[in-house]
Amino acid sequence: MLYSSILKPIFFRMDPEKAHHLVIDGLAAGGKVPGLNGIMNAMYGVAKSPELATELFGLHFPHPVGLAAGLDKNGKAADGFSSVGFGFAEVGTVTPKGQLGNDQPRLFRLPSDEALINRMGFNNDGTAAMAKRLARRKISRIPVAVNIGKNKTTPNELAHEDYQTCIRDLYAYGDFFVVNISSPNTPDLRDLQHGDELRRLLSSVNQEIITQASKSGKKAKPVLVKIAPDMTDEQLALTVDTIMESGVSGIIATNTTLSREGLGHANAREAGGLSGKPLKDRSTEVIRSVYRQTGGQLPIIGSGGIFTAQDAYDKIRAGASLVEIYTALIYKGPGVLRELTNGLKECLHRDGYRNIAEAVGADHR
C-alpha cells in the first residue's frame, strides 16, 4: 500500500531516470543506516519456503524470483535488494571502463501498456567502482550475479578482452556471471550472438573463469549467456547450439525487444529496448524453444513480462528454473515479491507438485 498509494504517484510524476537514481541511491544510503535493512526485510522480505527453494549451479536460491540486470547498474544497492524479498539479484551491466551511455532522455514509461523503453547504452561506473562497492556488502542471504558487457568503443573483434577484464576484476565478488550480448542499445553488440564471434567470445570467457578459479583454489563459478527475443527460429537454434557446445552453465531468456507490436502508448515511437507485459509471450516462447532444443539439460532463467504469479509459473512450466523481474517492480513495488511467491505456492499446490523444481519444464511432459 505504501508504494502504490504514496511512492508510485510521486515517482511517476518525476522523470523516469531521476526516479530510478532516487530509488537506487536511497536503497544504497539506507543500507548504511544500522537496522534499516532489517526493517525493510520485515516489511517486504519473503518467508523461507521449502517448496520454493532451489539448488542450481551449485548455489542455493531461497525462491526462484530474482531481480533482472539494469536496475542496479553499479552494484550500489545489493544489500538493499537482498533485504526486500528477492531470491537472487543481478547487478550491471558493467563494462571495464566507466561510460556515460546514450544521450538523455533515454528511459520512457508506457503506463497503458505496463511497459518501459530504454536506450541507456550500458551507462555505468566501470569494474573498479563496482568491485569497491561489492566488497563492502554486509548481507549475503541471496546469490548475486554480475552482468558483464563491452565498452561502446571496443570493436567486436576485441570484445572478448572486455568480457575477460570484467571477470578478472569482479570474479571475487559475483556468485555467478552473465554475459550480455543481447542489449539492443550498444551498436553491433547483438552480432556477438552468432557463429564464430559467439564461439570465440565464450571460449575466452570460459578460459578466464578457469584462470580465476585456479587462482582462488575453488570450483569455477557459473556463467550464463543472456539472449535476445528478436532472433528468427533458425538463428535461435544456431545460437543455442553454440552456447551448448561452449560448456557454459545456462541461458537467460530474454533481454528486451525491438518489437512494438500491440502498443498503444505514444512513447512506443521511442527507440530502444522494450520490457514489460508486451514481452511476456515472446520470452516464454523462447524459453520453450530453448528447453525443447536442449532437452532440459541447460538451465534457463526466464525474464520478460512477468507481472503475476501465473506469468512466472508459465515460464517455469515452459522450462525456466528461475525467473527475473524488473518492470513489474517499477509498476507494482516491492510488495510484488510476496505476491509472486505466494501465488507460485498456490500454483504448485493446485498442480500437485511438492517443490518448484518438479514444475520446471512440465509443459513438455
Q: Which residues are catalytic?
A: 183
C-alpha cell at 105: 532522455
CA atoms in the 13 A half-sphere facing the CB of 291 = 25
CA distance linking residue 52 with residue 349, whole number of Å: 11
- What's the CA gap between 119 and 189, in Å, rounded? 13
Torsion of CA 325, 331, 336, 337, to 10 degrees: 30
95 prior amide bond cis, ω within 30: no
> Do residues 91 and 133 lie in contact, with contact meaning Cβ atoms separated by under 8 Å?
no
Cell numbers of 8, please? 508510485
Q: Is 201 within 8 Å of 163 (Cβ atoms)?
A: yes
Give the other-Cβ count within 10 Å of 308's Cβ: 17
